[in-house]
């Protein structure tokens, strides 16, 4: 598993369980965004054959997760609606360098970090949820999200030198933890 610089503090889980309806809604949006990010890469980089099939498969898997979360929302009578997103994704993407081949490397590593953090937080939720059905659902997602962050890292290694991948990853990983440490007025999967 990708090493995150700072682990999630225990009080995040308490807030997440307390506002679980909001977390579940945010989770639906996050799965859809994860699919969208992969599809965006397919459109932006048709010249990189190694990205095509793995990211297409990943996007389909994320949309499958999206549909599953929508079902859990419906079962709990939670209306699917727009929601103020966490600033996390936007702040991470602001770190992406504009010039190639740096841009591709950063996009892949930012995606890897988001997947790694999601994986860590889904695990915390699966341990803390008292609703056995939901806890099982979250445990089921863990393996997929762990695979996803590894995939993004592997794809980066196929197009960029390993030493460069490692040093940029540790830089972005440090920034990821700082961004997550900034106070947010609401609780989300990534706050
Ligand atoms: Fe997912
Ligand atoms: Fe994922």
Phi-psi region of 142 (alpha: psi -120 to 50; beta: other; left: phi over 0): alpha
- Mean of per-residue pLDDT scores for the chain: 95
Report the predicted TM-score, pTM, of the whole model to 2 decimal places.
0.96
The share of the chain scoring above pLDDT 70, in percent, equals: 99
Q: How far, in Å, is the centroid of ligand 2 from the Cα of 116?
A: 9
Query: Exposure pattern of 16-29 as b/e (b: 16+ CB <10 Å)?
Result: beeebebbbbbbbb
For 38-82, what is each residue's pLDDT tens digit?
A: 999 999 999 999 999 999 999 999 999 999 999 999 999 999 999
For 76-106, what is each residue's pLDDT tens digit?
A: 999 999 999 999 999 999 999 999 999 999 9
Closest by Cα among 61, 24, 65, 68 to 39: 61
- Whether the CB-CB separation of 115 and 141 falls below 8 Å is answered with no
Ligand nearest to the CA of 116: 2
How much is the pLDDT for 3?
A: 76
For 116-136, what is each residue's pLDDT tens digit?
A: 999 999 999 999 999 999 999
Average pLDDT score over residue span 2-6: 84
Q: How far, in Å, is the centroid of ligand 1 from the Cα of 40?
A: 16
Q: How far, in Å, is the centroid of ligand 2 from the Cα of 42?
A: 16
Band (185; pLDDT cuts 50, 70, 90):
confident
């Amino acid at each position: 598993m990708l090493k995150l610089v700072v682990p999630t503090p225990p009080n995040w889980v308490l807030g997440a369980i307390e506002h679980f309806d909001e977390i579940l809604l945010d989770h639906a949006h996050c799965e859809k965004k994860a699919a969208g990010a992969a599809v965006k890469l397919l459109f932006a980089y048709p010249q990189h054959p190694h990205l095509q099939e793995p990211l297409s498969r990943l996007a389909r898997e994320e949309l499958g997760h999206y549909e599953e979360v929508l079902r859990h929302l419906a079962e709990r009578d939670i209306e699917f609606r727009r929601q103020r997103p966490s600033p996390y994704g936007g702040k991470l993407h602001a770190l992406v360098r504009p010039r190639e081949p740096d841009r591709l490397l950063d996009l892949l590593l930012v995606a890897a970090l988001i997947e790694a953090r999601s994986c860590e937080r889904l695990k915390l939720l699966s341990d803390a949820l008292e609703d056995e059905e939901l806890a099982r659902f979250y445990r089921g997602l863990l393996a997929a999200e762990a695979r996803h962050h590894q995939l993004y890292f592997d794809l980066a290694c196929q197009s960029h030198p390993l030493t460069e991948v490692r040093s940029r990853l540790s830089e972005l990983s440090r920034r990821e933890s700082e961004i997550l440490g900034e106070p947010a007025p609401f609780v989300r999967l990534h706050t």
